[in-house]
Structure 1
């Protein structure tokens, strides 16, 4: 290769490298998208709770020194604000506080990632949480310590039952002290699979992560792949009359295309955002109009109208993603209600 060719190739590589750096700078990640890097590629459903943000939103003063009763009261307040329904820790909060030394009163965030093979709780713990102290608590409570520092702590239903009111998802643990993260699952072998993702030996749920990043930084959220969304949000779950009404409403709106992903998140200040992903970007603008129309009308299968629950503040599309910005009515549980079906505006 001539010197001129070498210089040209080097220049091209330099431009590519600079472009990659610029891309990373211009496309910042989000805490939710970061958390999904721990979730296996087969993850079909993920739910998120930004516990630090929820405490700030509710002006809650719970912390590591709070009693179990105070922590349970905080979680109840979060539920009343529709900010804890995506969590798997609601009934475990007080016990976690007293027996494990961390809970929704101290956690930064929580992600529950589920796949056909299993589920994992990914917990971002606060800087004040001592992993050595957590290890001691687990040992004292009956968990079996692993040989490796980042191995699986084996518990099981008997251990959890002795500790108190804990969700089955907290049967086995992996402590990632260098990352400030705790992994938990009801299946020890599944945690081994998640460790492969952490170690870079298996793929993470990149597609869900990309979709989740379009939500911004929600306090609570649900993110589904296309298969899960089209099954769990489907109008097929409604009775025949509701399905017939839905068919007429969809036809009147101009029709919609199947979803390849769905996400909904509650943002600070009370706004809600829904992101619906279609396979072809060319279909997104038309779907945005149709789905916005559907979201502003009757809610067959759920009763009444969607306008009883929220107003559509804005609708649009960017690439394959359709975004609906919603303003919930006071007292409406929009996030928890509309992340399970039937949901007409999320129909496939």
Structure 2
């Protein structure tokens, strides 16, 4: 083949490969939405923690050289600001730091993706984490190494118990070096499926990724499918009196439409944003008005008024998505309050 043709072919291959890498790493506008694209499409509940953001919010100087006790103190301090309520690693932080060299002190971000089939803990790592070092530690601690670099390190309950206080989600681990990503799960088969998604061999949760992009760069967030939100945030979680009061309040506000997605996030600085997605864009403006009214009044099932917890700073509709911007009152754990039912303004 002539030299010029060879060079042209090489350039074409570089462009194609570069495009694929860019698609996997940057097709969505925010770290949260990109992370959702790497999670199994069957996921109905996502819990996000931006550990770099949490460290900035509390002014923490923990890192790779910190002790487990120092990392536990950092996590406790962050808990007081409702910054860690979405994390699955809080009670494991110190042990992870001491034994694995991987913890909330060194992670870039964490995403717990849960479905009816299983759960996978996704951890983004930065320059402070050496995955080869982590592989060596896993080997020394009793995990069984995979045949392939992207394969699953098999542990189990006995291995975990021998290490110390670690969440069950860390039983089995996969190290995806090309993506600066660590995956873990309590089920080997589900973790293998998650690896296929993350490496581009299966579909991710693209629909919810689009919705999550509206949260921009939250420090902590929850993202739910419509079915999950309509079940877990429903007023059916409340007693009969609260349900009757809720029915009256919803009717007085003009009614609402079922949700096809829900996301709420704690933003840098402390404000909270809730995104409520409906099926038809034509219904979103009316839902914005109704849900804004509901978010400004009584909170049946939770007690008191929503105004005791936050001030509604704004309500808007764009496309199918209703956005509510909330400013928490001093000392209120608004993100935690809005991620389990009953939540009147998120009713379906």
State the TM-score, normalized to the length of structure 1. Answer: 0.92
Q: Does 1:191 align with 2:191?
A: yes
- Secondary structure of the structure 2 residue equivalent to 1:159: helix
Q: SS of 2:75's equivalent?
A: helix
Match of residue 120 from structure 1: 120
* 4+ long deviations beyond 6 Å: none
**Offset, 1:28:** 5.5
Q: How far, CA to CA, are the matches of 1:134 and 1:201 in structure 2?
A: 25
The 5 Å alignment of 1:306-317 reads: 306-317=306-317
For structure 1, the residue ranges without an aligned partner over 5 or more in a row are 1-26
Question: 1:136, 1:200 → 2: CA distance?
Answer: 26
Partner of 2:78: 78
SS of residue in 1 equivalent to 2:313: strand
2:289 — aligned with what?
Answer: 289
| TM-score using structure 2 length | 0.92
2:343 matched to which residue of 1?
343
1:51 aligns with 2:51: yes
Paired with 1:347 and 1:70, the residues of 2 have a C-alpha distance of 41
Say what the alpha-carbon RMSD is for the aligned residues.
1.1
Q: How many residues get paired?
A: 323
Aligned-partner Cα distance in 1 for 2:51–2:30: 15
Return the alpha-carbon distance in structure 2 between the equivalents of residues 245 and 198 of structure 1: 45
Tell me if structure 1 keeps the 8 A contact 2:258–2:278: yes
In structure 2, C-alpha distance between the alignment counterparts of 1:169 and 1:337, rounded to whole Å:
24
Q: Say which SS state the counterpart of residue 223 (structure 1) adopts.
A: strand
State how 1:223-238 maps to structure 2 within 5 Å: 223-238=223-238
- Secondary structure class of the residue paired with 1:214: helix
Q: Does 1:176 align with 2:176?
A: yes
Q: Within 1, Cα distance between the matches of 2:320 and 2:196?
A: 30
CA spacing shift, 1:199–1:177, aligned 2, 3 Å = closer
Match of 2:210, SS state, is: helix
Is 2:156 aligned against 1:152?
A: no
CA-to-aligned-CA distance 1:225-275 (integer Å, 9 cap, x gap): 000000000000100000000000000101000000000000001110000
Match of 1:203 in 2: 203
C-alpha separation between the residues in 1 aligned to 2:78 and 2:289? Answer: 33
Partner in structure 1 of residue 24 of structure 2: none
Partner residue of 1:24?
none
Shift of 1:126: 1.8
Please report how far the alpha carbon of residue 171 of structure 1 lies from its aligned counterpart in structure 2 after TM superposition.
0.3
Residues 109-132 of structure 1, C-alpha deviation per residue, up to 9 Å, x if partnerless? 000000110000110012121111
Q: Which residue of 1 aligns with 2:97?
A: 97
Taking the aligned partners of 1:128 and 1:103, their CA distance within structure 2 comes to 11
Q: Which runs of 5+ in 2 are unaligned?
A: 1-26
Question: d(CA) in 1 for partners of 2:153 and 2:326?
Answer: 42
- CA displacement at 1:196 relative to structure 2: 1.7
Aligned to 1:21: none
Hey, what's the Cα distance between the residues in 2 that align with 1:75 and 1:303?
29
* Partner SS, residue 52 of structure 2: helix
Deviation for aligned residue 1:200 = 2.3
